[in-house]
C-alpha cells in the first residue's frame, strides 16, 4: 500500500542553518532530489514510482522487498555519505533490548551521483499521525509512554560529541562537554542568527534567554540517554494497538537529558491545531506527573530551547520566515505557553 507521511514539517531548500561561515545544524532536504537522478537510481534498483511508500522532509522511501526499504536523499555536493555512515554505526551500537519497539537498521550507504541511498530494515507499522486519532486520550497516553520509554536507551559506549551529526561549526563537537555547557553554547550560537527576528514577536525573549542561561550555567546531575531530538507523531510508527518503532534519528540526535525529548514531544503534538495550547498544557501536566518534582521545571525550559533552536529551520517557498508554520509554532511556545510559570 502506498502512503505518504502527513508531516507537519514543510519541505524546504535549506540544508544547513549557519552562523557566520560555519554550519551549525545540518538538515538533509527531500526537495533537492532531482527527477532524472531519481529515475536513474530507481532503475538501478529495479524500482519505479509505484514502489514509493513514504515521503518525509529529508528523504523518500521505496519498498525494496518484504524486509528492506531504500531511502533516497539529496546529496548535490557529495558531503552526506560520511554522515549517514556515522548514523549507521550509531544504529549498530544501540542497546535495542532497552526499548519496547523497533529501531532503525541501515544495511548499506550507496552514492548515486547527486543522490544517496540507504538500504534499511523495513520496520513494522505506519506513522502514528496517519493512522491514529490524535484527539483521544488513549493516543496521548500511548505517545507519552513511547517517548518516555526512549529515555531508557543508553548512549552507545565510547566518548563522542554531544550532537551525533555535529558539523565543523557545531558547539560541543568535541567529546566530553557536559550537557548544560553544550546546550548553552548551541543556544547562544543560534541566538546570533534568530534573536532579532524573535524579539519582534516575543517581547519577553531577553527574559527567557536570561532564565535559560541561569539554568544552563548550573551543573547538570540528572540521567543521560540517547536524545532523538525530533519526536513528533510521524516519527513514531504504530501497529497492533501500540507504538511499533521509532524512526528518523539523526539531524537533532544528541546525548543528554531524556526529559528534553519528553518536552519536545509534548509541544510537537498537534502543533498547528487551533487548540494546540490546551493540548500542550495537558500533555505537559501528564509528563510532569511522571517526573520528579525537582526536575519538572525543565519541561518548560526545554520547550523554550527547542523553539529557539529550530524556529527558522523549516522555511516555506515564497513566504517570509515570520509567515511560516514552524516559526509561528516557535513563537507560540515562547510567547503564549504559560505552563509552569
Give the domain CATH number at 109.
Answer: 3.30.200.20
**Is 311 inside any structural domain?**
yes
Q: Are residues 226 and 290 in the same domain?
A: yes
Domain edge (last residue) among 66, 91, 121? 121
Domain count, the chain: 2
The per-residue pLDDT for 27 is 61
Q: Are residues 54 and 157 in the same domain?
A: no
Beta bridge partners of 213: none
Instruction: Return the ∠ at Cα 218 (arms to 212 and 222), rounded to 5°.
Output: 100
Beta bridge partners of 71: 61, 118
Please tell me the distance from the alpha carbon of residue 247 to that of residue 228, in angstroms, as a whole number: 9
Q: Are residues 169 and 231 in the same domain?
A: yes
DSSP type of residue 67: S
For the chain, how big is the Rg over CA atoms in Å?
Answer: 19
Residue 95, CA distances (Å) to 15, 125, 160 in order? 30, 21, 17
pLDDT digit string (tens) for the chain, length 341 residues: 222 233 445 443 333 333 333 345 656 678 899 999 999 999 999 999 999 998 888 899 999 999 999 999 999 888 889 999 999 999 999 999 999 999 999 999 999 999 999 999 999 999 999 999 999 999 999 999 999 999 999 999 876 788 998 876 777 667 788 999 999 999 999 999 999 999 999 999 999 999 999 999 999 999 999 999 999 999 999 999 999 999 999 989 999 999 999 999 999 999 999 999 999 999 999 999 999 999 999 999 999 999 999 999 988 888 999 999 999 999 999 999 999 86
Q: Are residues 258 and 289 in the same domain?
A: yes
The per-residue pLDDT for 278 is 97
The closest alpha carbon to 81, from 113, 49, 42, 37, belongs to 113
The per-residue pLDDT for 76 is 87
The closest alpha carbon to 28, from 133, 91, 138, 117, belongs to 117
Q: Are residues 104 and 133 in the same domain?
A: no
Q: Are residues 185 and 266 in the same domain?
A: yes
The per-residue pLDDT for 14 is 34
The per-residue pLDDT for 341 is 63
The per-residue pLDDT for 40 is 97
- What is the residue range of 287's domain? 126-336
Amino acid at each position: 500500500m502506498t502512503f505518504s507521511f502527513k508531516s507537519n514539517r514543510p519541505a524546504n531548500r535549506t540544508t544547513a542553518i549557519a552562523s557566520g561561515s560555519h554550519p551549525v545544524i545540518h538538515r538533509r532536504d527531500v526537495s533537492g532530489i532531482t527527477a532524472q537522478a531519481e529515475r536513474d537510481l530507481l532503475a538501478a534498483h529495479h524500482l519505479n514510482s509505484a514502489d514509493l511508500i513514504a515521503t518525509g522532509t529529508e528523504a523518500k522511501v521505496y519498498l525494496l522487498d518484504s524486509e528492506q526499504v531504500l531511502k533516497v536523499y539529496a546529496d548535490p555536493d557529495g558531503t552526506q555519505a560520511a554522515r549517514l555512515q556515522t548514523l549507521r554505526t550509531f544504529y549498530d551500537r544501540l542497546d535495542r533490548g532497552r526499548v519496547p519497539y523497533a529501531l532503525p537498521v541501515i544495511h548499506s550507504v550507496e552514492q548515486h551521483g547527486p543522490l544517496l541511498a540507504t538500504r534499511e530494515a523495513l520496520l513494522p507499522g505506519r506513522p502514528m499521525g496517519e493512522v491514529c486519532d490524535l484527539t483521544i486520550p488513549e493516543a496521548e497516553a500511548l505517545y507519552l509512554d513511547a517517548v518516555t520509554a526512549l529515555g531508557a536507551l543508553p548512549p552507545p559506549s565510547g566518548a563522542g560529541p554531544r550532537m551525533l551529526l555535529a558539523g565543523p561549526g557545531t558547539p560541543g563537537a568535541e567529546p566530553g562537554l557536559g550537557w548544560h555547557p553544550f546546550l548553552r553554547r548551541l543556544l547562544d550560537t543560534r541566538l546570533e542568527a534568530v534573536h532579532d527576528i524573535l524579539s519582534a514577536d516575543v517581547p519577553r525573549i531577553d527574559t527567557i534567554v536570561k532564565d535559560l542561561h541561569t539554568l544552563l550555567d548550573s551543573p547538570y546531575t540528572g540521567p543521560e540517554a540517547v536524545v532523538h531530538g525530533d519526536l513528533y507523531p510521524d516519527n513514531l510508527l504504530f501497529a497492533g494497538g501500540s507504538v511499533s518503532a521509532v524512526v528518523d534519528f539523526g539531524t537533532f540526535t544528541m546525548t543528554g537529558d531524556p526529559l528534553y525529548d519528553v518536552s519536545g514531544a509534548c509541544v510537537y503534538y498537534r502543533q498547528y491545531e487551533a487548540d494546540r495550547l490546551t493540548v500542550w498544557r495537558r500533555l505537559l501536566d501528564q509528563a510532569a506527573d511522571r517526573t520528579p518534582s525537582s526536575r519538572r521545571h525543565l519541561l518548560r525550559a526545554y520547550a523554550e530551547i527547542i523553539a529557539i533552536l529550530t524556529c527558522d529551520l523549516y522555511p516555506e517557498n515564497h513566504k517570509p520566515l515570520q509567515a511560516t508554520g514552524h516559526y509561528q509554532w516557535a513563537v507560540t511556545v515562547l510567547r503564549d505557553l504559560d505552563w509552569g510559570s
